[in-house]
Structure 1
Amino acid sequence: MSTPSRVAIVTGGSRGIGREVAERLARDGLAVVIDYAGDKAAADSAVAELTATGAQVLAVQGDVADEVAMQAVFDQAEERFGGVDVVVHCAGIMPLSPLADLDLAVLDRVLRTNVRGTFVVDQLAVRRVRAGGAIVNFSSSITRFARPGYAAYGASKGAVEAMTLILARELRGRDVTVNTVAPGPTATDMFLDGKSDELIARIAAEPPLERLAQPGDIAETVAFLAGPGRWVNGQVLYVNGGAI
Structure 2
Amino acid sequence: MSKVAIVTGSNRGIGFGIVKALCQRFDGVVYLTSRDELRGKEAVAKLKYMGLKPEYHQLDIADKSSVEKFRDHIKEKYEGIDILFNNAAVLDTEVDSRTYEDAKRVIDNNYRSIFYLKELIYPLIKNNGRVINISSDCGHLSNIRNEYWIKRLSKPDLTEADVNEFVEWYLESVKNGTYNCDDIADEGTIPSYRVTKVALAALTMVHQRELESKNISVNLIQPGLVRTDLTHGVGFFSVDEAVETPLYLALDAPPTLKGAYVWYDKKVIDWYDSKSDCYFKLSSMSS
Please report the RMSD computed on the Cα atoms of aligned residues, expressed in angstroms.
2.4
Task: Give distance in 2, aligned partners of 1:166 and 1:240.
Answer: 24
Q: Does 1:102 pair with 2:102?
A: no
2:257 to 229, 232, 241: 232
Corresponding residue for residue 123 of structure 2: 127
Say if 1:88 and 1:241 are closer, same or farther in 2 by CA, change over 3 A: closer
Higher strand share: 1
1:193-212 to 2 correspondences below 5 Å? 200=234, 212=236
Call closer, same or farther: CA 1:82–1:127 in 2, change over 3 Å: closer
Q: State the AA in 2 paired with 1:178.
A: V
For the residues of structure 2 that align with 1:41 and 1:98, how far apart are their CA atoms?
29
Q: Which residue of 2 aligns with 1:12?
A: 9
Kindly provide the amino acid, as one letter, of the partner of residue 155 in structure 1. V
Q: Give the letter aligned to residue 264 of structure 2.
A: V
Structure 1 range deviating more: 63-72 or 119-128? 119-128
Are 1:213 and 1:240, in contact at CA under 8 Å, matched by a contact in 2? no
Q: 1:25 aligns with which of 22, 25, 50?
A: 22
Alignment gaps of 5+ in structure 1: 194-199, 205-211
3-state SS of 1:14 partner: coil
Identity of aligned residues (%): 25
CA distance in 1, matches of 2:123, 2:103: 29
Q: What are the residue-to-residue correspondences of 1:114-193 with 2, within 5 Å? A: 114-144=110-140, 146-148=185-187, 149-192=189-232
1:25: how far off?
Answer: 1.1
Q: Name 1:196's counterpart in structure 2.
A: none
Q: Residue 22 of structure 1 aligns to which amino acid in structure 2?
A: V
What TM-score, normalized by structure 2, do the two folds share? 0.70
Letter in 1 for 2:243: A
- Counterpart of 2:68, as a letter, is Q
Q: How many residues align?
A: 223
**Where do 5+ consecutive residues of structure 2 fail to align?**
144-184, 268-276, 279-287
Instruction: Describe the superposition over 1:210-239 as per-residue Cα deviations: whole angstroms up to 9, x where unpaired.
Output: xx1222233221211111212211011122
Bigger CA radius of gyration: 2
- 1:52-90 superposed Cα distances (whole Å, 9 cap, x missing partner): 555442222221022221121132234334431111011
SS in structure 2 opposite 1:171?
helix
Of 45, 48, 61, the residue aligned with 2:45 is 48
User: For the residues of structure 2 that align with 1:123 and 1:94, how far apart are their CA atoms?
Assistant: 24
Deviation at 1:119, TM superposition (A): 2.4
